[in-house]
A and B are shown apart, each in its own frame.
Chain A
Amino acid sequence: MTAARPAARAVAERVRDPELPVLTLADLGVLRDVTVTGERVLVTITPTYSGCPAIDEMGADLRRALTAAGYADVEVRTSLHPAWTTDWITDDGRRKLAEAGIAPPQRVGPRAAGPIPLTLTPPPQRVPCPRCGSSRTAELSRFGSTPCKALRRCEDCAEPFEHVKEL
């Protein structure tokens, strides 16, 4: 009976992010772990931001998908540590974002310890326009429609676009 079920990890990996539906939770890097013990599936996810309102939606979507795939006992846990970073968005995820007209984040790498420097002037950031590819783009607002996105505009094709900002 269990043989007919798809692997729990594969089911969980296909669930989409509620706020960036072009990405799966696996693309976004928020899917930490899927463990099957007997009849029980334990899924661990991580919030992108402390106040991320989508985290409960993600849990509900995971439970729904796994239940539909034949797993009766599903638990979803949220884990804060280590903290999510946009570096965890996969290469596949970055490509899907760009194809959807959303500029992917740049890699930030590990942070240095000690005091965090103030950035009074935004560093010139080369965020290519996802529509025309021009590198002449400017930030309109650092806070966009969701906590993870900034709003930019292309100075060549004049279109506004969203940018998943580095965290």
Chain B
Amino acid sequence: MNVYDGLTAGDSGDAHWAFGTGFTEPLAGIDRDVPSGVDRADLTAYALMLGDDALVASQLLAAWTSRAPELEEDVALANIALDLLGQARLLLTRAGEVEGRGRDEDALAHLRAEHEFRNVHLAEIDCGPSRMGPSAPGRDFAATTARLLVFSSWKLALFARLRDSADPVLAAVAAKAVKELTYHRDHAARWTVRLGDGTDESHRRMRAGIERVWPFVDELFTAHPVETRLAAAGVAVDPAELRSEVDGVLDEVFAAAGLERPAPVPVATVAGRAGRDGVHTEAMGFLLAEMQHLHRSLPGAVW
């Protein structure tokens, strides 16, 4: 008997510290067939794109637990992170089953290398909390609020359309996620107004937060060839279609917060390739090291 027994004991769901962490049949009850005429590799890639966005965003939000400005906000960010993690698990499970190589959600989350992740850069950039020393503008709660505002406004517009996807699993995940994202977006929007319309210092921080995330906004509306092909098949959403709706939402929030929408910044790419192609920023390596090290050190660990 040693202290680590609890980490690897059985899968009965009873011997763990808290609730179990594994869905036994996460997608049961939904038609799982790949719609006819849809390329399996494309659908796998698309489910990974959406799943990775949620997984990486969740990982960074969870880092705020115990670091937020007030206890209620620790709880709120942890709850939002949990919703995103739940969405990620369903999407990665779908990616694994369509791929057909026996990779489950854990294998996809913990055993892929950086260049195999397909999340957008907005999800991965460092918006705080600072690991050492005091928070700085652009790496603080205001920057995290700015990211959550843009991310959830974009995701909500995307998932609202994805409810009609020809892929029955994506449609079911989207229908569930839309309700959650509505809460996330409202939460971030209200904080943006509270900080933007607050003191000089909170206004300055909020503006710096928006400037921090703005260079990563254009990428959200740039279609990858996989998205273009699947949009034509009725499975995916062409992200370019989302721009005017998302701009409208952000403008409404900025107006209420006394903030201005920054000028557009062209997408930073490497030879035209960005997050959807597996090309990431310097933050991604640190993030994956932290997220993956436990699973890699203790394969199959649960709690």
In angstroms, Cα B85 to Cα A20, docked, is 22
Task: Number of A interface residues at 8 Å Cβ cutoff, please give it.
Answer: 42
Chain A residues with Cβ below 8 Å from B189 are 118, 120
Closest CB in chain B relative to A146 CB, distance in Å: 8
Which chain A residue has the least Cβ–Cβ distance from B178?
A116
Quick check: is B236 within 8 A (CB to CB) of the other chain? no
A57–B18 Cα gap in the complex (Å)?
9
State whether the Cβ of B1 lies closer than 8 Å to any Cβ in chain A: no
Residue ID in chain A nearest B11 by CB atoms: A56
Cβ-defined partner of B176 (8 Å) among A50, A114, A122, A141: A50
A54, B160: Cα distance in complex, Å: 26
Task: List the A residue with the shortest CB-CB distance to B190.
Answer: A120
The verdict on A18 contacting B19 (CB below 8 Å), with A51-B86, A142-B183, A167-B179 known, is: yes
Distance to closest chain B CB from A148 (angstroms):
10
Contact B187–A80 (Cβ < 8 Å) = no
Residues of A within 8 A of B99 (CB): none
Q: Give the Cβ gap from A59 to chain B, nearest Cβ, in Å.
A: 7
Q: Determine whether the beta carbon of A81 is less than 8 Å from that of B72.
A: no
Task: Name B180's contact: one of A49, A54, A142 (CB within 8 Å).
Answer: A49
| Contact call B13/A59, Cβ cutoff below 8 A | yes
Do the beta carbons of B75 and A120 come within 8 Å of each other? no
Asked whether A116 lies within 8 Å of B29 as measured between CB atoms, the reply is no
The answer for the CA separation of A141 and B191 in the assembled complex, in Å, is 12
For chain B, the count of residues having a C-beta within 8 Å of the partner chain is 56
Q: What's the least CB distance linking A74 to chain B, in Å?
A: 12
User: Which residues of A have CB within 8 Å of B23?
Assistant: 55-56, 78
B3 at the interface (CB under 8 A from A): no
- Per the bound structure, the CA–CA distance linking A52 and B176 in Å amounts to 12
- Asked if B297 is at the interface (CB within 8 A of a chain A CB), the reply is no
| Interface bits B178-209 vs A (CB < 8 Å: 1, else 0) | 11101101110110010000000000000000
| Known contacts A18-B19, A116-B182; A80 and B27 CB within 8 A of each other | yes
User: Once the chains bind, are B25 and A78 in contact (CB under 8 Å)?
Assistant: yes
Instruction: Say whether A128 faces chain B, with CB atoms less than 8 Å apart.
Output: no
Contact with A along B91-135 (1 / 0, CB 8 A): 000000000000000000000000000000000000000000000
**B 157-179 to A, binary, CB cutoff 8 A, 1 in contact else 0:** 10010000000100111011111
B76 within 8 A of A: yes
A79 contacts which of B29, B178, B190, B193 (Cβ < 8 Å)?
B29
Question: DSSP class of B's interface residues: helix, strand, loop or mixed?
Answer: helix
8 A Cβ contacts from A9-38 to B:
18, 32
A56 engages B22 (CB within 8 Å): yes
Complex Cα spacing A60 to B13, Å? 7
Q: Within 8 Å CB of A18, what residues of B?
A: 19
Q: Which of A76, A81, A143, A145 contacts B24 (CB 8 A)?
A: A76
Q: Judge whether B82 and A53 touch: CB under 8 Å.
A: yes
- Judge if A44 is at the interface, Cβ distance under 8 Å: yes
Do residues B29 and A147 form an inter-chain contact, with CB atoms below 8 A?
no
Task: Tell me whether A115 and B245 are in contact (CB under 8 A).
Answer: yes
- Which one of B76, B83, B86, B173 has the greatest number of beta carbons of chain A within 10 Å? B86
14 A-B pairs with C-beta separation under 8 A: A32-B29, A55-B23, A60-B14, A77-B29, A78-B23, A78-B24, A81-B30, A83-B172, A120-B186, A142-B76, A142-B187, A143-B75, A143-B80, A167-B179
Chain B residues at the A interface, C-beta cutoff of 8 Å: 12-14, 18-30, 72, 75-76, 78-80, 82-87, 89-90, 156-157, 160, 168, 171-173, 175-180, 182-183, 185-187, 189-190, 193, 245, 249, 252-253, 256
- Given A49-B176, A80-B27, 14 more A-B residue pairs with CB atoms under 8 Å apart are A32-B29, A50-B176, A50-B180, A51-B82, A51-B83, A53-B18, A53-B82, A57-B20, A77-B25, A81-B168, A120-B189, A141-B76, A143-B80, A147-B79
Which chain A residues have a beta carbon within 8 Å of chain B's beta carbons?
18, 32, 44, 47, 49-57, 59-60, 76-85, 114-116, 118-120, 122, 140-145, 147, 151, 165, 167
